[in-house]
Amino acid sequence: MRVNDVYQCMRWDGVFRHSKLIVNNCTRVAIICVLFLVAEQGFGQFLPPPIQKKSDPKKITIHSNDNQIIDGSVDPPIQYLNGNVKIFHSNTFMFCDSAIIRGNLLRMYGNVSLLQNDTIRIFADSIFYNGDMLKAFLFNRVYLENGNNKSLFSSYLEYDVQQKIGMYPTNAKLIDGDNTLISKRGKYFLNEKKAVFYNNVEITGKENFRLVTDSISYQTDIEKTNFLAPVYIRSDSSELYSNTGWFDIKNEIGDFYGNAQYRKGNTNALADTISYNGLEKMIHLKSTGLSQYISDTDTAFAKRILYDRSNELFTLIDSSWYHNKNNDVKGNVIFFDKKSDLFKVSGRATIMDGANIIQGDTVNYDKLAKFGKANGHVFWQDTSSKVAVKSDLLEFKGEQNYLLAHNFIGRPMFLSFSDADTLFMKADTLKSKKEITPRVRILSEGEKYALSDDTLNIKYNVKNDSIAFNDHPERFASISDSLLSKVEIFGDTILYPVIDTTVKFYGLHDVRILKSDLQATCDSLVFNQSDSIFILYKQPFVWSDSSQLRGDTISVFIKNGKVDMLDVTSNALALNSTDLQFFNQLSGRKLISLFNNGKMSNMSVFGNAQMVYYLQDNKKAYIGVNTTESSRITFYFENNKIIHTKEYIEPRSKVFPMQKVNHDNLKLKGFIWNDENRPKSKLDL
Q: What is the pLDDT of residues 672-682, one digit of tens each?
A: 999 999 999 99
What pLDDT band is residue 134 in, cutting at 50, 70 and 90? very high
Whether residue 544 is found in the same domain as residue 675: yes
Identify the pLDDT of residue 492: 54
Does residue 341 form part of some domain?
no
408-412, 431-435, 519-523, 532-536: which is most confident: 519-523
What pLDDT band is residue 303 in, cutting at 50, 70 and 90? very high
Identify the pLDDT of residue 584: 92
Instruction: Please check the confidence at residue 465 and state whether its pLDDT lies above 60.
Output: no
Whether residue 679 is found in the same domain as residue 539: yes
For 44, phi then psi, to 5°, come to -65, -25
Whether residue 629 is found in the same domain as residue 610: yes
Percent of the chain topping pLDDT 70: 81
The string of DSSP letters for 564-618 reads EEEEEEEEEEEEE-SSSSS-EEEEEEEEEEEEETTEEEEEEEEEEEEEEEEEE-T
- Which are the contacts of 608, defined by CB distance < 8 A and separation ≥ 6? 588, 589, 629, 631
Does residue 83 form part of some domain?
yes
Instruction: Please check the confidence at residue 284 and state whether its pLDDT lies above 60.
Output: yes
Whether residue 452 is found in the same domain as residue 539: no
Cα–Cα–Cα angle for 253, 167, 226, rounded to 5 degrees: 15
Between CA 335 and CA 572 the distance in angstroms is 54
Does residue 243 form part of some domain?
no
For 318, phi then psi, to 5°, come to 75, 115
Residues 98 and 21: beta-carbon distance below 8 Å: yes
3-state helix, strand, coil in the chain (%, to 5): 5, 60, 30
Between CA 274 and CA 282 the distance in angstroms is 10
Does residue 335 form part of some domain?
no
Does residue 117 form part of some domain?
yes
Cα distance from N-terminal residue to C-terminal residue, the chain? 124
Whether residue 497 is found in the same domain as residue 534: no
Between CA 167 and CA 185 the distance in angstroms is 8
Instruction: Please check the confidence at residue 16 and state whether its pLDDT lies above 90.
Output: no
Tally of structural domains, the chain: 3
Average pLDDT over residues 167-180: 87
Instruction: Please check the confidence at residue 301 and state whether its pLDDT lies above 90.
Output: yes
Pairing of strands 599-616, 584-596: antiparallel
Point out which residues pair with 106 in neighbouring strands: 101, 129
- Which are the contacts of 188, defined by CB distance < 8 A and separation ≥ 6? 144, 146, 152, 165, 166, 167, 174, 194, 195
Instruction: Please check the confidence at residue 463 and state whether its pLDDT lies above 60.
Output: no
pLDDT digits (tens, 9 = 90+) for 195-222: 898 899 998 888 788 889 999 888 888 8
Domain boundary among 89, 107, 142: 142
- Which are the contacts of 197, defined by CB distance < 8 A and separation ≥ 6? 174, 181, 183, 185, 186, 215, 216, 218
| 213 or 645, higher pLDDT | 213
In terms of C-beta density within 10 A (0-12 exposed, 13-18 middle, 19 or more buried), how is residue 207 classed?
exposed
Whether residue 613 is found in the same domain as residue 486: no
Residues 158 and 185: beta-carbon distance below 8 Å: no
Average pLDDT over residues 374-389: 87
Average pLDDT over residues 71-91: 90
pLDDT digits (tens, 9 = 90+) for 326-365: 778 888 888 888 887 787 777 778 887 777 888 888 888 7
Between CA 87 and CA 104 the distance in angstroms is 12
Identify the pLDDT of residue 43: 36
What pLDDT band is residue 366 in, cutting at 50, 70 and 90? confident
Can you say whether the dihedral through the CA atoms of 605, 606, 611, 616 is positive or negative?
positive
- CATH number where 531 lies: 2.60.450.10
The chain-wide mean pLDDT, for the chain, equals 80
Whether residue 492 is found in the same domain as residue 531: no
Least confident of 138-142, 458-462, 534-538: 458-462
Whether residue 497 is found in the same domain as residue 529: no
What pLDDT band is residue 15 in, cutting at 50, 70 and 90? very low
Instruction: Please check the confidence at residue 667 and state whether its pLDDT lies above 80.
Output: yes
Instruction: Please check the confidence at residue 57 and state whether its pLDDT lies above 80.
Output: no
Say whether 398 sits in a helix, a strand or coil.
coil
What is the H or E stretch that residue 40 is in? helix 29-42
pLDDT digits (tens, 9 = 90+) for 583-596: 999 999 999 988 88
Average pLDDT over residues 80-89: 92
Between CA 38 and CA 61 the distance in angstroms is 27
Instruction: Please check the confidence at residue 36 and state whether its pLDDT lies above 60.
Output: no
Instruction: Please check the confidence at residue 42 and state whether its pLDDT lies above 50.
Output: no
- Which are the contacts of 256, defined by CB distance < 8 A and separation ≥ 6? 231, 240, 241, 242, 244, 245, 247, 273, 274, 275, 276
**Which residue type does 106 have?**
L
Average pLDDT over residues 423-436: 88
Residues 572 and 592: beta-carbon distance below 8 Å: no
Whether residue 541 is found in the same domain as residue 499: no
| 400 or 467, higher pLDDT | 400
3-state secondary structure 198-262: EEEEEEEECCCEEEEEEEEEEECCCCEEEECCCEEEEECCEEEEECEEEEECCCCEEEEEEEEEE
Identify the pLDDT of residue 360: 85
Instruction: Please check the confidence at residue 451 and state whether its pLDDT lies above 70.
Output: no
Percent of the chain topping pLDDT 90: 33
- Which are the contacts of 468, defined by CB distance < 8 A and separation ≥ 6? 439, 440
Domain boundary among 484, 503, 522: 503
**Which residue type does 448 have?**
K
Identify the pLDDT of residue 445: 56
Domain boundary among 503, 535, 563: 503
Whether residue 559 is found in the same domain as residue 447: no
Identify the pLDDT of residue 97: 93
What pLDDT band is residue 522 in, cutting at 50, 70 and 90? very high
Identify the pLDDT of residue 481: 38
Question: Which domain covers residue 68, as residue numbers?
Answer: 3-142
Say whether 479 sits in a helix, a strand or coil.
coil
Identify the pLDDT of residue 31: 37
Cα→Cα distances 184→168, 187, 198, 359, 489, Å: 8, 11, 6, 58, 95
Does residue 427 form part of some domain?
no
Residues 113 and 86: beta-carbon distance below 8 Å: no
Between CA 79 and CA 508 the distance in angstroms is 112
Whether residue 553 is found in the same domain as residue 652: yes
Residues 37 and 63: beta-carbon distance below 8 Å: no
Whether residue 526 is found in the same domain as residue 630: yes
Residues 422 and 416: beta-carbon distance below 8 Å: yes
Identify the pLDDT of residue 453: 45
